[in-house]
Structure 1
């Protein structure tokens, strides 16, 4: 089959699956109407999906006089994706693992508190998940640091720095693997689960306890990575504080509030997003009010973005990684209506 025909078939298959995922059940006619594909094309795609087990045929639709219509449902447990993220908050180091089905529903979640995290801890956790769910197809990995072409660069976990984690996991487990920075994943998750439009931009800034901050930048619905994936490393902004000393400033509430406000203003002057989301257990209500006061002093009237506070990154983080992992299972062509 020519390459263009194969790609068209992939797109059509994704259209059929997307319709099935949104409905309790469908018929060939209802799928054809929703996708603008022919009934014959839908029938051929359904036949292949039934053969793989990704789609199931259920009881016939009751007849109203003619031949009863065949009904089809998407098999949401046909396969799974697993996401794992390493996190450091002060002295606490943890690895969170979540398995989700094909429509993003979590079927398993566990939290492992560890002395340190290296490739071995990822290997052990993935082995455990595959024993429970052998049909995992994609691994989504979240890392507190810079990731370039699957290799971990700057990282809060020294044993992971310089490691080709993506290549290692792909070879060891023979699965598709995506690896993304923690705040990029979280920003992507927050953006999509709170239903921004692609025309809107937002920035998510995360301050771990006793660690340096990072920002995830979303423009046109996509993560802004920069040419070396360094975009969002806001601890390196030239604000008069060495990145090595920034985590210590959290102990001084006044200096910390000033640094956060200047970081937000620096981002706003360059990107001017619709929203800036601020997250971290280190923030108190009083500190948030101090930051807001400083922002109003620093910014010309009418130019401040909406400031949103999200205490914990977990829900947005998992949503982002899971969405990326599920997208990895679908064809990589995005249809844009003009």
Structure 2
């Protein structure tokens, strides 16, 4: 590693320490990073000049009775912002949630909307309003119940979005990069943040809303697997005509899907999201699975506590990663 690479690595280390602490003095940064105060001083100057850090109101150190208080520096958390917009169904109504996230992953603004119909024009109108309110937005991330393939919405629950170049259309209108993430992919990403063994295991999330075929998200050792075209986990294809999904067949269908996922992916754990699904009903589904495969081959299957909560958490992680990579 040459001097330039070493300095870049040190700068990245100090940046992450300052992000973790939020605000600190130079001695505190030196202690947390393991660098000398002289090194911290040089690196901090670079961060300040780049607009990534700023000097803030001085505060006396603990135990100091007088004298000049130590100068503190803060990470400029709102220097870049990500605009998140995700779509879901709530009590039979389509819902949009918009949120603005900063570099620390904090949500600094949020709004919920129940539009009569979800179209590209409706999405653009809400995104434009948020962007006008927060000029620091540099990325847009959409969470959708579908998949963008080769630039077009190939799979989507909303008819007016089917087949259109949604990402391109919104990106041109907003003059910002727009990214699209499938809803269950985001949810299983959010769930993986809470599961300590996620980085060593295979975790699959199944989202099965009432009246719709299911979708699945695959987390391999903590990393989302989407496949060549982003359609990995699109198990709902099986319920296309001439064999549409029937709500009355849910338990049998759910057992069949779990068995297929076991044979394809052999996961350690499956998290199942479905409104109203009880532990008793899930036990019946697993009993049906054990009729086909030995219990030792079956994964641990859990009920997801909140699809919306994990969905939002996953998008926040993905949005923050996009900001940090700029």
Q: TM-score, normalised by structure 2?
A: 0.86
1:56 deviates by 2.8
Trace 1:130-141 onto structure 2 (pairs within 5 A). Answer: 130-141=131-142
* Alpha-carbon contact 1:61-1:71 (below 8 Å) kept: no
- Offset of residue 37 of structure 1: 5.2
Q: Are residues 213 and 309 of structure 1, via their aligned partners in 2, closer, same or farther at CA, if it must alter by over 3 Å? A: same
Do structure 1's residue 290 and structure 2's residue 284 form an aligned pair? yes
Q: 1:18 to 1:90 in 2, by over 3 A?
A: same
1:138-157 alignment, distance < 5 Å: 138-157=139-158
Structure 1 residue runs of 5 or longer lacking an equivalent are 333-338
Secondary structure of 1:302's counterpart equals helix
Matched positions, count: 322
1:198 aligns with 199
Change in CA separation of 1:11 and 1:321 when aligned onto 2, cut-off 3 Å: farther
CA shift in 2, pair 1:88/1:66, >3 Å? closer
Please, what is the CA RMSD of the aligned residues? 3.0
- Write the mapping of 1:263-302 to structure 2, written as runs, cut at 5 A: 263-281=257-275, 283-302=277-296
Alpha-carbon deviation of 1:168? 2.4
TM-score w.r.t. structure 1 length? 0.83
1:99-143: CA deviation from partner (whole Å, max 9, x where unpaired): 223222222222211222121111111112123322222211111
Structure 1 residue 274: Cα displacement: 1.7
Rate the CA distance shift 1:77–1:216 in 2: closer, same or farther, 3 A: same
Structure 2 spans left out of the alignment, 5+ residues: none
Partner of residue 17, structure 1: 15
Classify the secondary structure of the residue corresponding to 1:114.
coil
Bigger mean CA deviation after superposition, 312-321 or 20-29? 20-29
Residue 320 of structure 1 deviates from its aligned partner by 1.0
The answer to whether the 8 Å contact 1:83/1:97 transfers is yes
Which residue matches 1:335? none
Task: Rate the CA distance shift 1:227–1:260 in 2: closer, same or farther, 3 A.
Answer: same
Distance in 1, Cα, partners of 2:81 & 2:219:
27
Taking a change above 3 Å as real, the CA distance of residues 43 and 54 of structure 1, as seen in their structure-2 partners, is same
Match of 1:256 in 2: 250
